Structure 1
Amino acid sequence: MTNSHNEATESASTDEAQALQVSSPSVDLDAANTQAEQVIKRYVKWAAAAAIVPVPVLDLAALATVQVKMIKNIAQCYGATANESSLKPVVASLLGTLGAAGISGGLVGSSAKIVPVTGTILGSIGFAAFGSAATYALGRVFSSHFASGGTLENFSASAATGRLKAEYKKARAE
């Protein structure tokens, strides 16, 4: 009787293992990384385009929308899911970690648009630089997180701060 019980247990364990393999398909990391890089490049362009919005604060909302959609698309590259409503506070928290220089660049660029013509042009240029660099940095951080098997549920904004700042600095230098 012990033998048949062991066989049944082994069979059940094998069935569970097969079910787990089916429910969490393996992802080709090279293909996913390539696809994620394409997503990041596409959304960096959209972030720069968000700077064209002539209304202060509305441009910030447009940038946040671009970034949230980018992270959702990056998650899909790795077979993960990301809920937009869950991403909004995470993105806001991460952008806050860029420090005074990063945030003030975005806010100054946005608020400069109050001044007709010249302010709009200069504000758009400054905001485009901030938005593009911040979007690139966020994309790289989340791409790395999802590539390592992470999910939105186990993402730690505090743990990602150093990498975000490094990626932001790298993007600003290019």
Structure 2
Amino acid sequence: MSEDSVKTSAEASTNHTVQSSKAALSRQIKEQAQRIDELTALIQQKEQELIGLSGQAHLMDELTHKLQKTETAMQLANAQVQAKSHLIDELTGTLKEKEQQIMTAAEHAQLIDDLTAKLQEVEIKLVAASLQGKHSNAQNTVKTHMVSGMALGLLPAPLFDIMALSAVQLNLLRSLCNHYSVDFDEQLGKGIVSSLISGSLPVLTVLGLSSFAKLIPGIGTVGGGLSMTALAGAAIYAAGQVFIRHFEAGGTLQDFDSKHWQAFFKQQLEEGKAFVRNKLDTAGTTKIGA
């Protein structure tokens, strides 16, 4: 084989090798470029994911901050609830104490009411007893003056016994005024006694006739004296009952109205006659027995 053929064959082989190398290098470069594009796209994707993750991290930070604020608010609310619960406990305790105090106060008030009622009852009884005692003493005063008046009826001097009877009634009025703490005026008292007796004409007439009967010889003094005794006692009794009723009602000499008391005076006069007759009959029976 000639030298030129060998050279040509070597060159051809070299060219083929170069071409093959170029083709292989071209393919490798192309594959690498494709790989670079894939990696670039992957990097962009990862960057987007990273951006998304950054946004989520910011959101998480906001949520964490809000959660912390919420926890702080809850802690504050719990503290306020505990404080209010403690205050409620204190108020409840205070309320219970107040309720006990109210119950105690109510018991005290009830006790005070009971004691007050008992005190009023005792006071009423004492007043009633005092009034009853005062009334009894006043009645005894009337009876004492009745005895004096009845004794005057036995005086033999006509008309003098009537004057003496008026004096006894005036003295009775004075005694009852002192007994009931009523101001006494003698002139006003004389007018009251006179108007009270003169308001009952039959009484005044009978008293006058009984007094004049003593002028009759023989039995005049005895008969007239007995009649005068009965009427004098009855008149003093009736006047005494009028004055007692008037003073126990809170009356005075200044507001005494004889016309208002005329009917009551006549009624008491009849009771006085019965009272005197009973006393005279009892005295007569005692003498006979003796």
Q: TM-score, normalised by structure 1?
A: 0.80
Aligned residue for 2:267? 166
- Distance, in Å, in 2 between the alignment partners of 1:73 and 1:135 is 13
1:73 aligned to 175, 179, 190, which one? 175
Aligned to 1:97: 199
Matched, 1:39 2:141: yes
Work out the number of aligned pairs and report it: 148
Asked whether the 8 Å contact 1:141–1:163 carries over to 2, the reply is yes
- In structure 2, C-alpha distance between the alignment counterparts of 1:82 and 1:168, rounded to whole Å: 24
Q: Which residue of 1 aligns with 2:215?
A: 114
1:121-159 superposed Cα distances (whole Å, 9 cap, x missing partner): 111111111110000000000011111111000100011
2 CA distance for matches of 1:146 and 1:71? 11
In 1, Cα distance between the equivalents of 2:263 and 2:225?
A: 27
Computing the radius of gyration from Cα coordinates, the structure with the larger value is: 2
Gapped runs of 5+ residues in structure 1?
1-25
Deviation at 1:117, TM superposition (A): 4.0
CA 1:147 to 1:122, structure 2 compared with 1: closer, same or farther past 3 Å? Answer: same
Q: What does residue 84 of structure 1 align with?
A: 186
Greater helix fraction, Structure 1 or Structure 2? 2
Shift of 1:116: 3.5
Q: Is the contact made by 1:51 and 1:125 (CA closer than 8 Å) also made in structure 2? A: yes
Give the structure 2 partner of residue 136 of structure 1: 237
Alpha-carbon distance in structure 2 between the residues aligned to 1:59 and 1:121? 14
Instruction: Return the alpha-carbon distance in structure 2 between the equivalents of residues 113 and 164 of structure 1.
Output: 27
Cα displacement (A) at 1:169: 1.3
Q: What is the TM-score when the length of structure 2 is the normalising length?
A: 0.49
Distance 2:267 2:158 in 1: 28
Q: Percent identity?
A: 28
RMSD: 1.7
* Alpha-carbon distance in structure 2 between the residues aligned to 1:86 and 1:125: 31
Deviating beyond 6 angstroms after TM superposition, the runs of 4 or more aligned structure 1 residues are none
Q: Which residue of 2 aligns with 1:152?
A: 253
Matches of 1:74 and 1:37, distance apart in 2:
10
Larger RCO (CA within 8 A; separation ≥ 6) = 1
AA aligned to 2:139 is E
SS in 2 for 1:155: coil
- The one of 10, 22, 29 aligned to 2:131: 29
- Distance in 2, matches of 1:144 and 1:70, equals 14
Distance 1:105 1:128 in 2: 12
Partner of 2:224: 123
Check conservation: 1:74, 1:142, Cα contact below 8 A.
Answer: yes
1:58 matched to 2:160? The reply is: yes
CA contact (8 A) 1:29 1:78 kept: no
3-state DSSP class of the match of 1:56?
coil
CA deviations over 1:106-125 (Å, ceiling 9, x no partner): 11110011123411111111
